[in-house]
Amino acid sequence: MKVRNILMALFLWIVLATHAENYPYRSDYLWLTVPDHADWLYQTGEQAKVEVSFYQYGIPRDGEVKYEIGNDMLEGDKQGSVKLKNGRAVINMGTRKTPGFRDLRLAYALDGKKYQHHVKVGYSVDKIQPYTQEPKNFEAFWQKNLRDLEQVPMSYTKELAKEYCTDKMDCYLIKLQIDKMRHSMYGYLFIPKNAKAGSCPVVLTPPGAGIKTIKEPLRNKFYAENGFIRFEIEIHGLDPRLPQSAFEDATRAFNDANGGYLANGLENKDIYYMKHVYCGLVRCIDFLTSLPEWDGKNVAVQGGSQGGALAIIAAGLDKRVTQCVANHPALSDMAGYVEKGRTGGYPHFNKQPQILGNKDCLNTLSYFDVVNFARYVKADTYLTWGYNDNTCPPTTSYAVWNTLKCKKESLLTPINEHWTSEDTNKNQMEWIKAHLVK
Protein backbone atom coordinates (compact mmCIF):
# COMPACT_ATOMS: atom_id res chain seq x y z
CA MET A 1 0.00 0.00 0.00
CA LYS A 2 1.33 3.45 -0.92
CA VAL A 3 -0.20 6.81 0.00
CA ARG A 4 0.87 10.00 -1.74
CA ASN A 5 -0.27 13.23 -0.11
CA ILE A 6 -0.43 16.24 -2.41
CA LEU A 7 -0.14 19.26 -0.13
CA MET A 8 -1.95 21.64 -2.42
CA ALA A 9 -2.43 24.39 0.13
CA LEU A 10 1.32 24.66 0.70
CA PHE A 11 1.85 24.61 -3.05
CA LEU A 12 -0.52 27.54 -3.47
CA TRP A 13 1.46 29.59 -0.94
CA ILE A 14 4.73 28.87 -2.73
CA VAL A 15 3.60 29.83 -6.21
CA LEU A 16 1.11 32.57 -5.44
CA ALA A 17 3.62 35.32 -6.18
CA THR A 18 4.61 33.99 -9.59
CA HIS A 19 1.56 32.37 -11.21
CA ALA A 20 -1.66 34.33 -11.65
CA GLU A 21 -3.41 31.10 -12.75
CA ASN A 22 -3.70 30.11 -9.08
CA TYR A 23 -6.78 32.30 -9.00
CA PRO A 24 -10.13 30.81 -10.02
CA TYR A 25 -10.47 31.39 -13.75
CA ARG A 26 -10.82 35.13 -14.47
CA SER A 27 -11.67 35.95 -10.86
CA ASP A 28 -10.32 38.96 -8.98
CA TYR A 29 -10.72 37.18 -5.65
CA LEU A 30 -8.86 34.40 -3.91
CA TRP A 31 -9.27 32.54 -0.62
CA LEU A 32 -6.35 30.72 0.98
CA THR A 33 -6.97 28.35 3.88
CA VAL A 34 -3.94 26.67 5.47
CA PRO A 35 -4.42 24.16 8.31
CA ASP A 36 -1.61 24.00 10.87
CA HIS A 37 -1.04 20.34 9.96
CA ALA A 38 0.44 20.25 6.47
CA ASP A 39 -1.51 17.12 5.48
CA TRP A 40 -4.81 18.50 6.90
CA LEU A 41 -5.04 15.45 9.19
CA TYR A 42 -5.28 15.24 12.99
CA GLN A 43 -5.95 12.68 15.68
CA THR A 44 -9.23 12.70 17.57
CA GLY A 45 -8.85 15.06 20.51
CA GLU A 46 -6.36 17.33 18.69
CA GLN A 47 -7.28 20.96 18.01
CA ALA A 48 -7.14 22.06 14.37
CA LYS A 49 -6.27 25.66 13.56
CA VAL A 50 -6.63 27.17 10.11
CA GLU A 51 -5.07 30.38 8.83
CA VAL A 52 -7.56 32.15 6.58
CA SER A 53 -6.64 34.78 3.97
CA PHE A 54 -8.69 36.73 1.45
CA TYR A 55 -7.18 38.57 -1.53
CA GLN A 56 -8.50 40.99 -4.12
CA TYR A 57 -6.24 41.53 -7.15
CA GLY A 58 -3.54 39.69 -5.19
CA ILE A 59 -3.73 42.27 -2.39
CA PRO A 60 -4.74 41.14 1.13
CA ARG A 61 -8.11 42.56 2.25
CA ASP A 62 -9.07 43.34 5.82
CA GLY A 63 -12.61 42.94 7.09
CA GLU A 64 -14.92 40.57 8.88
CA VAL A 65 -15.20 36.90 7.95
CA LYS A 66 -18.20 35.01 9.27
CA TYR A 67 -17.92 31.28 9.68
CA GLU A 68 -19.66 28.13 10.78
CA ILE A 69 -18.15 24.75 11.58
CA GLY A 70 -19.89 21.40 11.30
CA ASN A 71 -19.26 17.73 10.67
CA ASP A 72 -18.77 16.68 7.04
CA MET A 73 -21.99 17.38 5.05
CA LEU A 74 -24.00 18.12 8.21
CA GLU A 75 -25.43 21.34 9.62
CA GLY A 76 -23.08 23.67 11.45
CA ASP A 77 -22.86 23.35 15.20
CA LYS A 78 -20.59 26.35 15.84
CA GLN A 79 -20.74 29.89 14.44
CA GLY A 80 -18.57 32.95 14.84
CA SER A 81 -16.63 35.71 13.10
CA VAL A 82 -13.05 36.94 12.92
CA LYS A 83 -11.40 40.16 11.75
CA LEU A 84 -8.85 39.88 8.97
CA LYS A 85 -5.70 41.86 9.73
CA ASN A 86 -3.38 42.29 6.76
CA GLY A 87 -5.80 39.91 5.07
CA ARG A 88 -5.26 37.11 7.60
CA ALA A 89 -6.79 35.50 10.66
CA VAL A 90 -6.60 32.17 12.47
CA ILE A 91 -9.70 30.11 13.30
CA ASN A 92 -9.68 27.23 15.77
CA MET A 93 -11.86 24.48 14.30
CA GLY A 94 -11.75 22.46 17.52
CA THR A 95 -11.71 18.68 17.37
CA ARG A 96 -13.76 15.50 17.07
CA LYS A 97 -14.19 12.69 19.56
CA THR A 98 -14.81 10.16 16.77
CA PRO A 99 -13.03 9.57 13.43
CA GLY A 100 -14.27 11.79 10.61
CA PHE A 101 -14.07 15.26 9.06
CA ARG A 102 -14.99 18.77 10.18
CA ASP A 103 -15.87 21.51 7.69
CA LEU A 104 -15.04 25.21 8.15
CA ARG A 105 -17.44 27.32 6.02
CA LEU A 106 -16.44 30.93 5.38
CA ALA A 107 -18.26 34.02 4.11
CA TYR A 108 -16.86 37.48 3.34
CA ALA A 109 -18.96 40.47 2.22
CA LEU A 110 -17.32 42.95 -0.15
CA ASP A 111 -18.87 45.63 -2.39
CA GLY A 112 -22.35 44.23 -1.94
CA LYS A 113 -21.37 40.67 -2.83
CA LYS A 114 -20.80 37.58 -0.71
CA TYR A 115 -17.73 35.39 -1.27
CA GLN A 116 -17.80 31.89 0.20
CA HIS A 117 -15.25 29.17 0.70
CA HIS A 118 -14.73 26.10 2.85
CA VAL A 119 -12.03 23.70 4.03
CA LYS A 120 -12.30 20.27 5.62
CA VAL A 121 -9.83 18.58 7.93
CA GLY A 122 -9.82 14.96 9.05
CA TYR A 123 -9.45 13.25 12.42
CA SER A 124 -8.08 9.70 12.84
CA VAL A 125 -9.11 9.00 9.26
CA ASP A 126 -7.47 5.56 9.21
CA LYS A 127 -10.13 4.48 11.72
CA ILE A 128 -13.17 5.59 9.70
CA GLN A 129 -15.37 2.54 9.19
CA PRO A 130 -18.64 2.28 7.24
CA TYR A 131 -22.01 2.24 8.93
CA THR A 132 -23.27 -0.14 6.22
CA GLN A 133 -22.99 -3.81 7.06
CA GLU A 134 -22.85 -6.72 4.61
CA PRO A 135 -26.07 -8.81 4.44
CA LYS A 136 -25.57 -12.48 5.23
CA ASN A 137 -26.67 -13.55 1.75
CA PHE A 138 -24.94 -10.71 -0.12
CA GLU A 139 -22.59 -12.99 -2.04
CA ALA A 140 -25.33 -15.55 -2.80
CA PHE A 141 -27.64 -12.80 -4.08
CA TRP A 142 -25.09 -11.57 -6.60
CA GLN A 143 -23.92 -15.03 -7.62
CA LYS A 144 -27.52 -15.89 -8.53
CA ASN A 145 -27.87 -12.71 -10.60
CA LEU A 146 -24.65 -13.46 -12.45
CA ARG A 147 -25.75 -17.04 -13.13
CA ASP A 148 -28.94 -15.63 -14.63
CA LEU A 149 -26.82 -13.32 -16.78
CA GLU A 150 -24.88 -16.30 -18.12
CA GLN A 151 -28.11 -17.59 -19.64
CA VAL A 152 -28.49 -14.45 -21.77
CA PRO A 153 -26.78 -14.81 -25.16
CA MET A 154 -24.27 -12.13 -26.13
CA SER A 155 -26.06 -9.68 -28.42
CA TYR A 156 -24.83 -6.32 -29.69
CA THR A 157 -24.67 -4.02 -32.68
CA LYS A 158 -21.47 -2.36 -33.86
CA GLU A 159 -21.35 0.75 -36.01
CA LEU A 160 -18.29 2.68 -37.12
CA ALA A 161 -18.28 6.19 -35.57
CA LYS A 162 -16.23 7.99 -38.20
CA GLU A 163 -16.41 11.31 -36.36
CA TYR A 164 -14.28 9.86 -33.56
CA CYS A 165 -11.78 7.88 -35.61
CA THR A 166 -8.23 9.21 -35.90
CA ASP A 167 -5.04 8.13 -37.59
CA LYS A 168 -4.18 6.22 -34.40
CA MET A 169 -7.50 4.58 -33.48
CA ASP A 170 -10.86 3.40 -34.71
CA CYS A 171 -14.09 4.12 -32.86
CA TYR A 172 -17.33 2.14 -32.90
CA LEU A 173 -20.71 2.82 -31.34
CA ILE A 174 -21.85 -0.33 -29.54
CA LYS A 175 -25.37 -1.17 -28.37
CA LEU A 176 -25.07 -4.09 -25.97
CA GLN A 177 -27.96 -6.11 -24.56
CA ILE A 178 -27.29 -6.62 -20.85
CA ASP A 179 -30.10 -8.85 -19.54
CA LYS A 180 -33.10 -11.01 -20.47
CA MET A 181 -35.39 -7.97 -20.07
CA ARG A 182 -33.61 -6.55 -23.11
CA HIS A 183 -32.12 -3.60 -21.26
CA SER A 184 -29.21 -2.19 -23.22
CA MET A 185 -26.17 -0.01 -22.72
CA TYR A 186 -24.56 2.12 -25.39
CA GLY A 187 -20.87 2.83 -25.48
CA TYR A 188 -18.05 4.09 -27.65
CA LEU A 189 -15.38 1.46 -28.23
CA PHE A 190 -11.91 2.77 -29.06
CA ILE A 191 -9.41 0.34 -30.58
CA PRO A 192 -5.82 1.16 -31.60
CA LYS A 193 -5.48 1.30 -35.38
CA ASN A 194 -4.45 -2.05 -36.87
CA ALA A 195 -4.29 -3.71 -33.45
CA LYS A 196 -3.11 -7.31 -33.66
CA ALA A 197 -4.97 -10.24 -32.16
CA GLY A 198 -4.13 -10.75 -28.48
CA SER A 199 -2.25 -7.45 -28.13
CA CYS A 200 -4.44 -5.03 -26.15
CA PRO A 201 -5.47 -4.64 -22.51
CA VAL A 202 -9.11 -3.55 -22.15
CA VAL A 203 -10.52 -0.71 -20.03
CA LEU A 204 -14.19 -0.35 -19.07
CA THR A 205 -15.23 3.20 -18.15
CA PRO A 206 -18.68 3.67 -16.59
CA PRO A 207 -20.22 7.16 -16.37
CA GLY A 208 -20.81 9.68 -13.62
CA ALA A 209 -24.31 10.21 -12.27
CA GLY A 210 -27.17 11.59 -14.31
CA ILE A 211 -29.10 10.90 -17.48
CA LYS A 212 -26.79 12.32 -20.10
CA THR A 213 -24.93 11.68 -23.29
CA ILE A 214 -21.31 10.52 -23.48
CA LYS A 215 -19.63 13.90 -23.60
CA GLU A 216 -16.44 14.57 -25.51
CA PRO A 217 -15.64 10.95 -26.39
CA LEU A 218 -12.15 11.93 -27.57
CA ARG A 219 -11.09 13.51 -24.28
CA ASN A 220 -9.50 10.22 -23.19
CA LYS A 221 -8.06 9.23 -26.56
CA PHE A 222 -4.64 8.79 -24.89
CA TYR A 223 -5.77 5.31 -23.78
CA ALA A 224 -6.09 3.96 -27.32
CA GLU A 225 -2.99 5.91 -28.33
CA ASN A 226 -1.11 3.93 -25.67
CA GLY A 227 -2.33 0.53 -26.81
CA PHE A 228 -5.52 0.11 -24.74
CA ILE A 229 -8.97 -0.85 -25.92
CA ARG A 230 -11.34 1.51 -24.07
CA PHE A 231 -15.13 1.09 -23.76
CA GLU A 232 -16.82 4.24 -22.43
CA ILE A 233 -20.47 3.55 -21.64
CA GLU A 234 -23.74 5.09 -20.55
CA ILE A 235 -26.12 3.08 -18.33
CA HIS A 236 -29.66 4.12 -19.30
CA GLY A 237 -30.05 2.60 -22.77
CA LEU A 238 -30.07 5.98 -24.52
CA ASP A 239 -28.27 6.50 -27.80
CA PRO A 240 -25.55 9.13 -27.15
CA ARG A 241 -26.27 10.62 -30.59
CA LEU A 242 -29.69 11.84 -29.42
CA PRO A 243 -29.98 15.64 -29.19
CA GLN A 244 -29.24 17.25 -25.84
CA SER A 245 -32.92 18.19 -25.53
CA ALA A 246 -33.84 14.48 -25.41
CA PHE A 247 -31.56 13.92 -22.41
CA GLU A 248 -32.96 17.01 -20.72
CA ASP A 249 -36.51 15.70 -21.27
CA ALA A 250 -35.54 12.29 -19.84
CA THR A 251 -33.94 13.96 -16.83
CA ARG A 252 -37.07 16.00 -16.11
CA ALA A 253 -39.27 12.93 -16.50
CA PHE A 254 -37.28 10.34 -14.55
CA ASN A 255 -34.55 11.97 -12.47
CA ASP A 256 -36.53 14.07 -10.00
CA ALA A 257 -35.67 15.53 -6.59
CA ASN A 258 -36.93 12.39 -4.82
CA GLY A 259 -33.83 10.44 -5.74
CA GLY A 260 -34.52 9.79 -9.42
CA TYR A 261 -33.31 6.53 -10.92
CA LEU A 262 -31.11 5.90 -7.87
CA ALA A 263 -34.29 5.57 -5.78
CA ASN A 264 -36.34 3.69 -8.37
CA GLY A 265 -37.51 0.36 -6.88
CA LEU A 266 -35.55 0.68 -3.64
CA GLU A 267 -38.24 -1.13 -1.67
CA ASN A 268 -37.22 -4.43 -3.29
CA LYS A 269 -33.67 -5.49 -4.13
CA ASP A 270 -34.89 -7.71 -6.97
CA ILE A 271 -36.49 -4.86 -8.90
CA TYR A 272 -34.19 -1.97 -7.92
CA TYR A 273 -33.10 0.02 -10.96
CA MET A 274 -29.39 -0.40 -10.35
CA LYS A 275 -29.52 -4.21 -10.37
CA HIS A 276 -29.48 -4.43 -14.15
CA VAL A 277 -26.81 -1.71 -14.22
CA TYR A 278 -24.48 -3.69 -11.94
CA CYS A 279 -25.04 -6.89 -13.93
CA GLY A 280 -24.52 -4.87 -17.10
CA LEU A 281 -20.99 -4.09 -16.00
CA VAL A 282 -20.19 -7.80 -16.08
CA ARG A 283 -21.82 -8.14 -19.51
CA CYS A 284 -19.62 -5.28 -20.73
CA ILE A 285 -16.59 -7.23 -19.52
CA ASP A 286 -17.97 -10.32 -21.30
CA PHE A 287 -18.06 -8.22 -24.47
CA LEU A 288 -14.58 -6.78 -24.06
CA THR A 289 -13.00 -10.15 -23.34
CA SER A 290 -14.65 -11.59 -26.46
CA LEU A 291 -12.76 -9.18 -28.71
CA PRO A 292 -9.96 -10.89 -30.66
CA GLU A 293 -7.62 -7.96 -29.91
CA TRP A 294 -7.86 -8.46 -26.10
CA ASP A 295 -4.52 -9.58 -24.67
CA GLY A 296 -6.20 -12.38 -22.68
CA LYS A 297 -4.88 -11.09 -19.33
CA ASN A 298 -5.73 -7.50 -18.45
CA VAL A 299 -9.16 -6.06 -17.68
CA ALA A 300 -9.14 -2.60 -16.10
CA VAL A 301 -12.08 -0.59 -14.81
CA GLN A 302 -11.83 3.17 -14.37
CA GLY A 303 -14.22 5.98 -13.51
CA GLY A 304 -15.11 8.91 -11.29
CA SER A 305 -17.99 9.64 -8.89
CA GLN A 306 -20.79 7.24 -9.89
CA GLY A 307 -18.32 5.88 -12.43
CA GLY A 308 -15.79 5.35 -9.64
CA ALA A 309 -18.43 3.49 -7.65
CA LEU A 310 -19.28 1.30 -10.64
CA ALA A 311 -15.59 0.58 -11.23
CA ILE A 312 -15.20 -0.78 -7.69
CA ILE A 313 -18.47 -2.69 -8.00
CA ALA A 314 -17.33 -4.29 -11.25
CA ALA A 315 -14.04 -5.28 -9.61
CA GLY A 316 -15.92 -6.79 -6.68
CA LEU A 317 -18.32 -8.72 -8.90
CA ASP A 318 -15.96 -9.95 -11.61
CA LYS A 319 -12.67 -11.67 -10.81
CA ARG A 320 -11.44 -11.06 -14.36
CA VAL A 321 -10.74 -7.43 -13.35
CA THR A 322 -7.00 -6.99 -12.84
CA GLN A 323 -6.76 -3.20 -12.27
CA CYS A 324 -9.29 -0.85 -10.66
CA VAL A 325 -9.05 2.96 -10.70
CA ALA A 326 -11.68 5.12 -8.99
CA ASN A 327 -11.98 8.84 -8.29
CA HIS A 328 -14.09 9.93 -5.28
CA PRO A 329 -16.53 6.99 -5.48
CA ALA A 330 -20.23 7.72 -5.05
CA LEU A 331 -22.84 5.23 -3.71
CA SER A 332 -20.59 4.64 -0.69
CA ASP A 333 -21.99 4.13 2.82
CA MET A 334 -25.24 5.65 1.60
CA ALA A 335 -27.12 4.76 4.80
CA GLY A 336 -24.51 6.43 7.01
CA TYR A 337 -26.86 9.32 7.77
CA VAL A 338 -29.09 6.98 9.79
CA GLU A 339 -26.65 7.28 12.69
CA LYS A 340 -26.84 10.72 14.28
CA GLY A 341 -23.80 12.85 13.51
CA ARG A 342 -22.53 10.51 10.78
CA THR A 343 -21.94 11.39 7.14
CA GLY A 344 -23.38 9.34 4.27
CA GLY A 345 -22.51 9.13 0.61
CA TYR A 346 -23.99 10.37 -2.65
CA PRO A 347 -26.90 10.53 -3.53
CA HIS A 348 -27.42 11.79 0.05
CA PHE A 349 -30.68 10.07 0.85
CA ASN A 350 -30.87 12.07 4.11
CA LYS A 351 -32.78 14.52 1.90
CA GLN A 352 -35.43 11.80 1.38
CA PRO A 353 -36.54 10.70 4.87
CA GLN A 354 -39.06 8.36 3.26
CA ILE A 355 -36.04 6.30 2.13
CA LEU A 356 -33.78 6.26 5.19
CA GLY A 357 -36.82 5.75 7.40
CA ASN A 358 -37.92 2.68 5.42
CA LYS A 359 -36.45 -0.67 6.53
CA ASP A 360 -37.02 -2.23 3.09
CA CYS A 361 -35.12 0.60 1.38
CA LEU A 362 -32.26 0.33 3.86
CA ASN A 363 -32.09 -3.40 3.29
CA THR A 364 -31.86 -2.90 -0.49
CA LEU A 365 -29.17 -0.24 -0.13
CA SER A 366 -26.94 -2.70 1.73
CA TYR A 367 -26.92 -5.00 -1.33
CA PHE A 368 -25.88 -2.13 -3.62
CA ASP A 369 -23.44 -0.13 -1.50
CA VAL A 370 -19.86 0.20 -2.71
CA VAL A 371 -18.36 -0.69 0.68
CA ASN A 372 -19.82 -4.19 0.49
CA PHE A 373 -18.32 -4.75 -2.96
CA ALA A 374 -14.99 -3.31 -1.82
CA ARG A 375 -14.62 -6.29 0.53
CA TYR A 376 -14.43 -8.59 -2.52
CA VAL A 377 -12.02 -6.62 -4.71
CA LYS A 378 -8.84 -8.59 -5.47
CA ALA A 379 -7.48 -6.42 -8.29
CA ASP A 380 -4.71 -3.89 -7.75
CA THR A 381 -6.60 -0.69 -6.92
CA TYR A 382 -5.86 3.02 -7.17
CA LEU A 383 -8.12 5.59 -5.47
CA THR A 384 -8.03 9.36 -5.45
CA TRP A 385 -10.22 11.84 -3.61
CA GLY A 386 -10.25 15.40 -2.29
CA TYR A 387 -11.17 16.55 1.20
CA ASN A 388 -13.25 19.56 0.10
CA ASP A 389 -15.64 17.40 -1.93
CA ASN A 390 -19.30 18.05 -1.05
CA THR A 391 -20.66 15.60 -3.61
CA CYS A 392 -18.76 12.47 -2.62
CA PRO A 393 -17.44 13.47 0.82
CA PRO A 394 -14.02 12.36 2.08
CA THR A 395 -15.62 10.53 5.00
CA THR A 396 -17.16 7.98 2.65
CA SER A 397 -14.07 7.73 0.44
CA TYR A 398 -12.11 6.75 3.55
CA ALA A 399 -14.85 4.26 4.47
CA VAL A 400 -14.20 2.56 1.11
CA TRP A 401 -10.40 2.88 1.35
CA ASN A 402 -10.29 1.38 4.84
CA THR A 403 -12.51 -1.51 3.71
CA LEU A 404 -10.37 -2.52 0.73
CA LYS A 405 -8.04 -5.44 1.53
CA CYS A 406 -6.38 -5.70 -1.89
CA LYS A 407 -3.10 -4.15 -2.98
CA LYS A 408 -3.93 -0.47 -3.11
CA GLU A 409 -2.50 2.98 -3.68
CA SER A 410 -4.06 6.38 -3.11
CA LEU A 411 -3.55 9.92 -4.36
CA LEU A 412 -4.86 12.40 -1.77
CA THR A 413 -5.57 15.92 -3.07
CA PRO A 414 -6.96 17.73 -0.01
CA ILE A 415 -7.87 21.01 -1.73
CA ASN A 416 -9.86 19.30 -4.50
CA GLU A 417 -13.61 19.44 -4.56
CA HIS A 418 -15.52 17.17 -6.96
CA TRP A 419 -12.96 17.15 -9.76
CA THR A 420 -9.65 15.77 -10.92
CA SER A 421 -7.04 17.43 -13.12
CA GLU A 422 -6.06 16.36 -16.63
CA ASP A 423 -2.66 15.35 -15.27
CA THR A 424 -4.31 13.11 -12.67
CA ASN A 425 -6.47 11.49 -15.35
CA LYS A 426 -3.48 10.78 -17.60
CA ASN A 427 -1.44 9.49 -14.69
CA GLN A 428 -4.18 6.97 -13.97
CA MET A 429 -3.65 5.51 -17.43
CA GLU A 430 0.07 5.35 -16.68
CA TRP A 431 -0.70 3.61 -13.37
CA ILE A 432 -2.75 0.96 -15.16
CA LYS A 433 0.03 0.55 -17.71
CA ALA A 434 2.60 0.07 -14.93
CA HIS A 435 0.40 -2.59 -13.25
CA LEU A 436 -0.41 -4.71 -16.29
CA VAL A 437 -0.22 -8.45 -15.83
CA LYS A 438 2.65 -9.64 -17.98
Q: Is residue 435 annotated as part of the catalytic site, yes or no?
A: no
pLDDT (0 to 100) of residue 23: 53
d(CA 294, CA 292) in angstroms, rounded, equals 6
Q: Alpha-carbon Rg of the chain, whole angstroms?
A: 23
Judge whether 7-127 and 138-434 match in fold: no
Mean pLDDT of 312-324: 98
Find the catalytic residue in 39, 103, 179, 389: 389
Find the catalytic residue in 183, 276, 418, 435: 418
Q: Where exactly are the structural domains of the chain?
A: 7-127, 138-434
Residues sharing a CB contact under 8 Å with residue 25, sequence separation 6 or more, in sequence order: none
Among 80-84, 177-181, 385-389, 431-435, the minimum mean pLDDT is found in 177-181
Q: Is residue 305 annotated as part of the catalytic site, yes or no?
A: yes
Model confidence over 84-138: pLDDT tens digits?
A: 999 999 999 999 999 999 999 999 999 899 999 999 999 999 999 999 999 999 9
**What would the CATH number be for the domain defined by 138-434?**
3.40.50.1820
Find the catalytic residue in 305, 332, 397, 410: 305
Give the strand pairing for 294-304 and 169-177: unpaired
pLDDT (0 to 100) of residue 24: 66
pLDDT tier at 256, thresholds 50, 70, 90: confident
Model confidence over 204-228: pLDDT tens digits?
A: 999 999 999 999 999 999 999 999 9
Query: pLDDT at residue 1 above 70?
Result: no
d(CA 53, CA 30) in angstroms, rounded, equals 8
pLDDT tier at 14, thresholds 50, 70, 90: very low
Q: Is residue 117 annotated as part of the catalytic site, yes or no?
A: no
Mean pLDDT of 234-260: 94
Dump the DSSP string for 100-157.
Answer: EEEEEEEEEEETTEEEEEEEEEEESGGG---S----TTHHHHHHHHHHHHHTSPP-EE
Specify the fold of 7-127: Immunoglobulin-like (2.60.40)
User: What's 57's DSSP letter?
Assistant: T
